[in-house]
Amino acid sequence: MKKNKRIGTLITALIVVLAGIVFFAGGFSGDKGGEYIGFSTQPSFDSIQMKWKQRDDVHYYEISRAEVTFDAEGEAVTLPRDAYEPVKTVAGDKRRYTDRDVETGHTYAYVVEGYKKSFGHLKCVCTTYEDGSIEYETAGLGRPALLNNGEGENHTNSKDKIYLYVQCYTGVEPTGGILYRKGSDEDKYRVIDYKLLSKEGFSSGCEILDDTVTPGVTYRYKIRTTAEDKEKSYQSPKSTAIRIPAVNFDARYDVQAMTEEGFAKAFVIRVSSDAYNGTTLFTDEAAQYQVRYTDPETKQDVSAVFDAALQESSVDGQTWQAVKKRVRLTAGSTIYLKYALSGEDTPYFGSNTAAESVLSMDGYESGGAVYEGSGYGATMMTLDLVKEAGEACCDFD
């Protein structure tokens, strides 16, 4: 019995010693998982510094790294946890580390995990890793993203101007950029001049304008950013291409009233679409007609708003067809539209001689028109019969 007891004691002692050796050698990385902690990075041309949220119960932090690749759309490819290789272990009272073993222009993903001692065992209690996401940074200039900035929010593209936005999500702040363009009638990209619209100068988020386009041509753009450091010049990789046509993102129309001013239950207008517009759909949903005129009997100024319902359309003003849901107006074409007026008061049509005579279609309210241009969002249309001009835009604000 004593012999068996002695053997059991020796085995227990041996297990404790081995566990201690593994523990203090740092060869046992413990359980994965733990609470997610905040994480930030600060790049330079030859290093990447990272900071994380410190915890008082952490014995040490293990920092792992993997090099990042990008897909065809320029998005970073997410990585499984086992794709990261340990590069450094720092004490638990630290909350930052600078990785100097990097190559300029390369992008790296990092994971920081904190371990604490628990009954002779190391347990991961905090981490910056999240399954399905990736934390990454670039040493030097990161790959920029080039965006269409003329879809209706800040500026509006037209047949003469294309607005672009440069966005850099990683890397140091650029100080310049090289813009490449290829038209649908060209075989290869070439460097072009552009106008910088941002007052702060070229930066990781700035607006630029190309006003040298040819109407009707579709262009592809790429950009690379530039910077200087310690008398050296650097260039980023090129962005992925973006395709933008030089057309009217806001439609333009010539409008003419075909019905004379006066009390009327219906009126006819002629609408001609600019050659560089997209397709316009006029629908049978209610539009609004606003008029301001001088009453022929009282000689008083009157303002009124009436509902206007599209009933018929014609391509020549002679042969008419009932509108079933919608009618199409293509770029460079003309259409005649007949609207019926209704309201609490007797309808009055101001034609093009009243003080105000406007037909409006609000995509957020009742509809009335859909502009299928290159922008996106709800259509807002105004046809001014006094000015004999109209416009439509896609408003996504």
Q: Which domain holds residue 298?
A: 251-395
Q: What pLDDT is attached to residue 73?
A: 80
The pLDDT of residue 396: 58
Query: Has residue 110 been placed in a domain?
Result: yes
For strands 279-283 and 369-372, give the pairing: antiparallel
Same domain, 173 and 309: no
Residues of the chain with pLDDT under 70: 1-33, 152-155, 363-366, 375-376, 396-397
**Residue of 198, 188, 364, 339 whose CA lies nearest to 258:** 339
Same domain (yes/no): 348, 305: yes
Same domain (yes/no): 58, 177:
no
Say whether 16 sits in a helix, a strand or coil. Answer: helix
Q: Are residue 193 and residue 133 in the same domain, yes or no?
A: no
pTM over 0.85: no
Same-domain check for residues 89 and 162: no
What is the model's pLDDT at position 240? 93
Tokens of 225: 């950013």
Among 245, 280, 310, residue at a domain's last position: 245
pLDDT of residue 379: 86
240 and 269 within one domain:
no
- Using alpha carbons only, how large is the chain's radius of gyration in Å? 34
**What distance lies between CA 337 and its chain's CA centroid?**
37
pLDDT of residue 307: 93
* 69 occurs within a structural domain: yes
Show Cβ contacts of residue 197 under 8 Å, excluding neighbours closer than 6 positions: 163, 206, 207, 208, 209
95 HSE (CA, 13 A, CB side): 10
Domain boundary residue, one of 94, 115, 137: 137
Q: What is the pLDDT of residue 374?
A: 73
Question: What span, in angstroms and rounded, lies between the C-alpha atoms of 133 and 63?
Answer: 17
| 269 and 230 assigned to the same domain | no
CATH number at 206 reads: 2.60.40.10
Instruction: State which amino acid sits at residue 352.
Output: N
Phi then psi dihedrals of residue 367, to 5 deg: 95, -135
Tell me how far apart the alpha carbons of residues 108 and 66 are, in angstroms, rounded to a whole number: 6
> What pLDDT does residue 74 have?
80
Last residue of a domain, one of 220, 245, 270: 245
Do 68 and 103 sit in the same domain of this protein? yes
Residue 43 · residue 106 · CB < 8 Å: no
Q: Are 120 and 158 found together in one domain?
A: no
How far are the Cα atoms of 107, 254, 323, 352, 383 from residue 388, in angstroms, in the given order? 56, 6, 24, 7, 8
> Do residue 109 and residue 189 come from a single domain?
no
219 CA to centre of own chain? 19
* Number of domains present in the structure of the chain: 3
| Same domain, residue pair 321 and 342 | yes
Tell me: do 151 and 228 sit in the same domain.
yes
